[in-house]
Amino acid sequence: MLSRIFLPTIFVLLLYGFTVSTNFKDVAAGVALFMFGMLCMEQGFKVFSGGTLQGLLGASTDKLWKSLSFGLVSTSLMQSSSLVSVITISFLSAEMIGLAQGIGIVFGANLGTTTGAWIVAGFGLKVNISSYAMPMTVFGVLCLMQSSARLKGAGWILVGIGFLFLGIHYMKEGFSAYAQHIDLTAYAMTGIAGLLVFTLVGIVATVVMQSSHATLVLTITALAAGQVTYENALALAIGANVGTTITAILGSISSSISGKRLAGAHLIFNLVTGVIALFMIKPLMASVEAIAATVGIGADDYTLKLAIFHTLFNLLGVALMLPMIQPMVRWLEKHLRSESIERDVPRYLSAASLELPDVASHAALKETRHLFNNAFNLVCHGLDLRRRVVQGETDLQTLIDLPAELIDIDLDDQYTRMIKDIYGANIEFISKAQASASAEYAERFALLRRANIDIVAAIKATKHLRKNMHRYSRSPNPAIRREYNRFRVRAASVLRALASLNDEDDPVVTLLSLDQIKIEAVDAADHASSTIDQLIRRGEISSQMATSLMNDGIYVREIVEHLLAVAEAIIRASLPQGELLGNEMMLKIEDIADIARSMDGAAVTADTEYER
């Protein structure tokens, strides 16, 4: 409702400004160009945040000072603390970093925002940067026309810088023209009232433009043109710092609880820093004067003094809040908890992750594993087996001659509670990620989509098998009971083998182990078919029992095939080289069948002895 009112109101106010003042058009156009330049730069930097991102994160966030440095450097390069905050939320949602590291990045990002003020105040207003804008735009467009993704990324960055420079130029020219016709300093306010009012104006301006950088640049250009007083400019800078948290909060709405905690930490930090700056405005201003005199900044160079002030109060905030990171983590974990719900929900997916293919594929992989873990339970219980038995040391063959223990489970209800929401979210997330992904990532997303479909198919096959299995796995007829228990053991053996693969770190060994599991599964299926024929000839089972065995044997085969397909897709999607390494290492279907047949002759003698 608010968004429907908010946007038209902004349009009406802009139209009114355009009609009453030509100079307003210049300022508004400058802000628009500056923000468009930021969007272009963000688009370009996303291209360079691909496969190496996770390794860079691991090396850059294992210590607090590294997290701070990562936030500082990335924000200085991207010139967008909001982008860094949203990206950090996506890292947290995908569990690529912990909450403490995420908070460290946010603190560093706040320091990184100060570089923008220095660039504009120290360079942008003292040099005719519009003369640099056109060449950068030309070279940027040339790069955008190339087929290379990295050249396109460089092109977006160059075009973005060009528009940033143009935006600063138009804002500067607009405010300079204002000085000839109207004096905006007539609206200046002094004292506490001025601090509070202009801090609020800074917050509102940042919320509207979704960029503290844009608010700061607007403030600095207005200050340079003498259209805002130095004291009011300081308050606007404080407001911009607080207002930038809105973007992080909006980005956390669709994220996991970890993302919401990070947004909370960001809000706490910026609010505390803003309050400290307001209360200590006089000492901070005195410190600015002392620093300016020491480094030779002129007494009337208020734009550079504003840059010093912006850096100073952010440094003060970081210094005061750094010792509070661990208590803040504990407080956020205590007061921001996952809702207690009866249905399991996605844990690692967030809208922010979609902006970065590497993070999106990592999140989709973890969520697919989460879904598979839930499905593991459902298949076990659907086969009247406890998970601890399947994953334990019990000899599964001992279950063949014993009546099965009945596990009371409603598979439809459990599917709704444990599978449905996660499955739907995974398919939707993967579809959105795949739409804009490069060929390498598109293959990974295709594998994960297939894995999710196979997980659901395995559960449905278990549901179909369960009806007759309940009847025959406890039957007084030892022959039919033994065959249905063999069905259970076949599926359980595959589940146990797949669970053991989680302990293997080498992907090549994992793929070879999966081939061995496939061979054993095909061999077991062949033996099951030949056993049914023998039981019919001996008259140990009725024709109705034989029909049930053959039909349910198909469901068992489907369960096994879908489980193996899920494991293969997950392994291949997690490999650095994606499907290429997977295709090189995996055996073909016909190879597996040939190996199984060659093993069959050696197994017949042992199987005949078991039947006797």
CATH number for the domain whose boundaries are 356-611: 1.20.58
Q: How far is CA 490 from the centre of its chain?
A: 37
CB 26 within 8 A of CB 177: yes
CB 90 within 8 A of CB 102: no
CB 478 within 8 A of CB 401: yes
Nearest 5°: phi and psi at 196? Answer: -70, -45
Provide CB contacts within 8 A for 523, sequence distance 6+: 596, 599, 600, 603
579 SS3 class = helix
Three-class DSSP labels, 288-302: HHHHHHHHCCCCCCH
Task: In whole angstroms, give the CA distance from residue 112 to residue 81.
Answer: 7
For residue 562, what pLDDT band results from cuts at 50, 70 and 90? Answer: very high
Domain segments of the chain as ranges: 23-47+59-335, 356-611
CB atoms within 10 A of CB 140: 23
DSSP annotation of 62: S
Q: Which two tokens stand for residue 476?
A: 């007084």
Task: In whole angstroms, give the CA distance from residue 546 to residue 532.
Answer: 7
Which residue in this structure is represented by tokens 């997330």? 429
DSSP annotation of 447: H
CB 370 within 8 A of CB 381: no
For residue 290, what pLDDT band results from cuts at 50, 70 and 90? Answer: very high
For residue 376, what pLDDT band results from cuts at 50, 70 and 90? Answer: very high
CB 307 within 8 A of CB 233: no
Task: In whole angstroms, give the CA distance from residue 353 to residue 251.
Answer: 10
The full DSSP string for 545-571 is HHHHHHHHHHHHHHHHHHHHHHHHHHH
pLDDT at residue number 178: 53
Average pLDDT over residues 413-419: 90
Q: Which two tokens stand for residue 318?
A: 């970081």
Q: Which of 394, 241, 362, 411 is nearest to 313 (CA)?
A: 241
Span 14-70, pLDDT tens digits: 787 778 777 677 778 877 887 787 778 767 766 665 545 555 665 666 677 888 888
Q: Is the confidence at residue 120, as pLDDT, over 90? A: no
Model's pTM, two decimal places? 0.68
Q: Which of 477, 600, 597, 610 is nearest to 546 (CA)?
A: 477
pLDDT at residue number 5: 67
Q: Which two tokens stand for residue 508?
A: 């090549």
CB 274 within 8 A of CB 236: no
The full DSSP string for 215-278 is HHHHHHHHHHTTSS-HHHHHHHHHHHHHHTHHHHHHHHTTS-HHHHHHHHHHHHHHHHHHHHHH
Give the mean pLDDT of the chain: 78
Using alpha carbons only, give the angle 37, 442, 95 rounded to the nearest 5 degrees. 75
Which residue in this structure is represented by tokens 């996660």? 422
Task: In whole angstroms, give the CA distance from residue 240 to residue 232.
Answer: 12
Task: In whole angstroms, give the CA distance from residue 484 to residue 520.
Answer: 18
pLDDT at residue number 486: 85
| Of 83-92, 296-305, 588-597, the least confident | 588-597
For residue 174, what pLDDT band results from cuts at 50, 70 and 90? Answer: low
339 SS3 class = coil
Q: Which of 544, 405, 563 is nearest to 480 (CA)?
A: 544
Span 528-555, pLDDT tens digits: 666 777 877 788 888 888 888 888 888 8
pLDDT at residue number 3: 52
Share of the chain above pLDDT 90, in %: 10
CB atoms within 10 A of CB 599: 15
